[in-house]
Structure 1
Amino acid sequence: MIRRILASTVLAALASSTALTSAHADDASGWEFDGVPGWSNAASGDSFTFRGRIYLDAANVDFERAGTTTSFNASEIRTARLGVTGQYSGVGYVAEFDLINEAVIAKDAYLTFHADGFDILAGNMKTPNSLEEQTSSRYITFMERGTGIELFGLGRRVGVAFARHGENYTVKAGLYGGAPGDLSESLELDDSSALAARVTYTPVHTDALLVHLGASVREFDYGDAGTRVRARPRTHITDRIVTADFRPGSALGEADSSTFVGLEAATVSGSFHAHAEYMTMELDGPAGNPRIDSAFVNLGYFITGETRSYSTSSGTFSRTRPARPVSEGGTGAVEIAARYDYSDLNDVAAGELTTWTVGLNWYVEDHFRVMANYVTGELAVAGGANTDVSGPQVRVQWDF
C-alpha cells in the first residue's frame, strides 16, 4: 500500500515540478516541457526524459457457473510506473519500473547501440511477438490485450536483440534468458530461455489507407520449472478463468519447451481501424504434445474524426492525439470499439474460452484517457458446467 501511495505521489510531483521548469525552457540547461518533461544538449546529442504512467481501474464482473454467481467488485491501481529514457554518447537507454503491490518490477530497462543500418538492444525488454503486445498499453484499444498474450506468456525477458527497419518493413530477432522477479527481494533470473523473431510489412501506407502484415515466432525452453497456461476473461480484477498446469508433478505432465507462431494483420482507413491476430503454441513434453490456439479481431472508429496512429519504425500502433483537446475548448477524441476473442484449449482439457468486449474511449488530452469496457463471455468445458462472464470496467489513464 505504501508503494502505491508513493508511486502516485511521485508521478504527480514530477509533473507539477517540471511544468514550472518549462517556464525556463530557453535557459542554457535545455529543459523543456511539452506534455513530457525532459532535457537535451544540442551540441552533444545527450538527452533524458522522465516517463511514467498510472492506470486506475474499477470493475464489477460476475462469474456464473451451475447456478452459482461469484462477483468481483473492486478497484485497483493497475499500473504505476516511473522511469527515464534518452541518449548518452550515442547510446540510447530506457529504464522503467512498476511500483505497485509492494513490489519493484523491471519493465523496459535496456540499452540501444546504433550501428550502420541496424540497432543492437541489450537488457530487459519484450520478446518480438504480436502487434498487440508490441504496442504500448498506453495506445491499445481495450483495457486488456487479447487472451493469447496472457495465455502464451508473451512479455519481457533479459536478452540481446537485433533490429532493423525500412520505409515499409521491420525485422527484429533476439536471444533471451530468464525474467526478473520482484527486484526488492532478489536480482536473480529464472532459468528459462527463448529465441524469438518478428517481421512486419506495410504494403500500403498513405494518408488515406494503412495495411499492416506481420508474423512472429518464439522457441521457449522452460528449464526445470515447466509452465502454466492461464488467463483472465479480459479483465484484471477477476480471478483467472482458465488454467492448465504443466509444472513438475502435474497431472498433465511437465512441459520442457514450446513453439509459438503468431500472424497479425491490421488496417486503418480514415477514422476506422481493424486489427486481427492468430496465435498457436505447441507444448513439448506432455503426452501428445498438445496445441493451444487463440485469435481475436478488434474493430474501432473515432466518431470525432481522428485517425489511429502507426509507427513504421517499430511496426506498432502509436499515440493518437485528439484534434480538439479539452484544454483548448474542444471535446477531445471519442472512440467506439468492439472485440471478438476466442481460445481453444481442448487439447489440454481446459475447454474453449470466448469473450466479446465493447468499448468507449475518451481521449481528453494527448496524455490523458478514460476507458470504459463491457465484457461478456463463456468458458465451455466438455463434460462440465459452463462458466458465464459479464460485467463493466472503467479506467482512468495518465502518462507522461
Structure 2
Amino acid sequence: MTRRLLASTFLAASTALIATATATPTASAQEAGGWEFDGVPSWSNPHSGDSFTFRGRVFLDYGDITFDTAGVETDYSDSEIRTARLGVTGSFGGVDYVAEFDWINEAIGANDVYLTFDADLFDVKVGHMKTTNSIEELTSSRYITFMERGLGTDLFGLDRRVGVTLARGGDNYSLSAGVYGGRPGDLSQSLELDDSSAISARATRTFNTNDATVHLGASVRHMDYGDAGTRIRVRPQTHITDRVVTADFRPGRPLGEAETSFFWGLEFAAVNGPFHVEAEWFNQTLDGPTGDPDFSAQYINFAWFITGETRSYSASSGKFGRTRPTTTVSEGGAGAWEVAVRYDRADLDSVAAGELTNWTLGVNWYLEDHVRIMANLVDGQLSVPGAADTDVSGAQLRLQWDF
C-alpha cells in the first residue's frame, strides 16, 4: 500500500516537473531560481512564476484515557500515527496546484487536491477541498491550538468534498462560497464518490483596534445525504477512544432517515500580542426524522505565548496560520511556549442522545518553525437521560513535523 502512495505522489511530482521543464528559464532567472533545499526540495522559475515543492506532515500521538461510568472504568492507552501525508504544491502557467494524500490505515485518502485559478474578482478552486465553514476547521491541523478541533467540527461532519469554491479576500474581509458533490473513499480501491452533495458560504470581517486584531465570521451549509442518511457522533476530544455521543439517522434506524440538513455557525477570534481567544457556535437541523431535530455545539479557548510570540492570522482568508518561534532550539533558543485552555459542549438532547462537556488544558512547545510537541489534559462528562453519567479523563501527547 505504501508503494502505491509513493508511486502516486511520484507521478504527481513527475507531472509537475515535466510541466515546469517546458518553460526554459533565462540565465539570470536560473541564477535567482532553480532548485533549493530548505528542509525539502523545491524548484522555482522567477521569470515565469512556475514552482514546485514537496509538502507533507507526520503526527505521532500517544494517549492514556479513562472512561468511568457508575464506578466501572474502561481504559484506553495507545499510540498511533494520527496523520502521515505526502504531496506536492506549486504553480504552473499562472495556475496554483496542490495534491496531498494520506497513507495511513492501509488506504490512500485524498486531502487537499485542487487547482486554483485567478479569475480577477475571485479565486476559483476546483477539486477536493473543505467546504467553506468554521475558522477552526479551515485552519490547518498544523496550526490549531489543541490536538483535536472543537467538538462541532467532528459532530457535524465539516469535511472535504469534490467541488468548486469561489473565494475573495482583502485587507479586512474574506468571502467564499462553494458547490460540492460527494466524497471519495479509498483511492486504491475506487475513484467513485458517494451520492451526497452540499452547498456552503462564509463571510468574515476583521477589525484592528490598537494592538488587537478581532475576527468575526459566519457560515452556512446545506447538505443532501442522498440515500445514505447520516450519523451525528463525536469523540470526547480524544482520537484513541470510542465515540461517546452517537445519533444514527441512516435508513432503517429507529430515529428515522436524514434526507437533508442545514448548518450555520458563528465565529469570534481575537489576537492581542501573545494572547489569543477563539470561539464558535454551531447549529444543525435535520430534515427527514420525526420532528426535524436540531443539535448545537460551542467552544471557547484562551491561549498565551509565554515566550512572547503572536499567533499568525490572515484577514484575507479568515483563518490562522503558522506561528514561528522568535528563537528556535537549533539557534540556541528556547523555542516558543504556549499554554491554553478550552471549554467544549455538544448537545444532542433533542433525540435523548445526551450532552457532552469537555475541558482541555494544553501546552505547546514550538521547537522549530516546522516542529512542535503538544500535550493535552482532557476532562469531560457525558450526560444521557435515564443513564449514569460517564466521566472522561486522561492525557495525550503529540510529536508534529511538517514541511
Report the TM-score when normalising by structure 2. Answer: 0.92
Q: Match of 2:374? A: 371
Alignment partner, residue 269 of structure 2: 266
2:33–2:46 Cα contact (<8 Å) kept = no
Contact 2:336–2:365 (CA<8 Å) still a contact in 1?
A: yes
Residue of structure 2 in register with 1:385 after alignment = 388
Q: How does 1:56-75 map to 2 (within 5 A)?
A: 56-75=60-79
Q: In 1, distance between residues paired with 2:88 and 2:164?
A: 20
Of residues 344, 347, 362, the one that matches 2:347 is 344
- Cα deviation for residue 66 of structure 1 reads 2.1
Corresponding residue for 1:239? 242
Shift of 1:29: 6.5
Q: Which residue does the alignment assign to 1:248?
A: 251
User: What letter matches 2:55 in structure 1?
Assistant: R
Q: Does 1:182 align with 2:186?
A: yes
- Please list, as runs of the form range in 1=range in 2, the aligned pairs for 1:256-295 lying within 5 A after superposition: 256-295=259-298
In structure 2, the partner of 1:19 is none
One-letter identity of the residue aligned with 1:161: T
Secondary structure, aligned partner of 1:398: strand
Once the two structures are TM-superposed, the CA of residue 285 in structure 1 deviates from its matched residue by 0.4
Query: In structure 1, what is the Cα distance between the partners aligned to 2:109 and 2:74?
Result: 30
Name the counterpart of 2:200: 196
2:381 partner amino acid? E
Residue 117 of structure 1, CA deviation: 2.7
The secondary structure found in structure 2 opposite 1:71 is strand
- How far apart in 2 are the matches of 1:257 and 1:29? 50
1:21 is matched with none
Contact kept, 8 Å, 2:161 with 2:182, in 1: the verdict is yes
Task: Compute the displacement of 1:35 (Å).
Answer: 3.9
Partner of 2:177: 173
Deviation at 1:177, TM superposition (A): 0.3
Letter in 1 for 2:292: N
Paired position in structure 1 for 2:148 = 144
1:76 aligns with 2:76: no
2:210 maps to 1:211: no
Amino acid paired to 1:270: G
1:100 to 80, 104, 120: 104
In the alignment, does 2:326 pair up with 1:320? no
Aligned length: 384
Give the conservation status (yes or no) of the 8 Å contact 1:232–1:238: yes
Distance (whole Å) between structure 2 residues aligned to residue 36 and residue 312 of structure 1: 28
Describe the superposition over 1:373-394 as per-residue Cα deviations: whole angstroms up to 9, x where unpaired: 0001000011111111000000
Would the aligned equivalents of 1:3 and 1:101 in 2 still touch at CA under 8 Å? no
Most deviating of 332-341 and 196-205: 196-205
Which residue number in structure 1 is paired with residue 22 of structure 2?
none
Q: Could you tell me which runs of 5 or more consecutive residues in structure 1 were left unpaired when the two chains were aligned.
A: 15-24
Alignment partners' CA distance in 1, 2:384 and 2:93: 57
Q: Is the 8 A contact 1:35 1:367 kept in 2?
A: no
Query: Structure 1 residues 323 and 26 mapped into 2: Cα distance closer, same or farther (>3 Å)?
Result: farther
> Which whole-Å deviations, capped at 9, do the CAs of 1:135-161 have from their partners, x for residues lacking one?
000000000000000000001000011
1:30 aligned residue = 34
* Residue 394 (structure 2) pairs with residue 359 (structure 1): no
How far off its partner does 1:64 sit? 1.0
Counterparts of 2:139 and 2:164 in 1: how far apart (Å)? 20
Structure 1's consecutive aligned runs of 4 or more residues displaced over 6 angstroms after TM superposition are: none
Structure 1 position 304 matched with structure 2 position 290: no
How many Å separate the matches in 2 of 1:234 and 1:80? Answer: 20
Secondary structure of residue in 1 paired with 2:379: strand
Instruction: Give the drift of 1:313.
Output: 2.1
Please, which of 88, 91, 96 is the counterpart of residue 92 of structure 2? 88
Give 1:263's aligned amino acid: L
Alignment partner, residue 56 of structure 2: 52
Structure 2 partner of 1:17: none
Deviation, 1:349, is 1.2
Q: Unmatched 5+ residue regions in structure 2?
A: 14-28
- Structure 2 CA distance for aligned equivalents of residues 116 and 28 of structure 1: 28
Question: What code does the residue aligned with 2:227 have?
Answer: D
After TM superposition, the score normalised by the length of structure 1 is: 0.93
Using the TM superposition, give the Cα deviation of residue 3 of structure 1 relative to its aligned residue in structure 2, in angstroms. 3.5
**Partner SS for 1:173:** strand
1:187 counterpart SS class? coil
SS of structure 1 residue aligned to 2:388: coil
Structure 1 SS opposite 2:307 = coil
- Preserved contact between residue 328 and residue 334 of structure 2 (Cα < 8 Å): yes
Is 2:30–2:45's contact at 8 Å kept on the other side of the alignment? no
* Residue type of the alignment partner of 2:146: F
Aligned-residue RMSD, C-alpha: 1.9
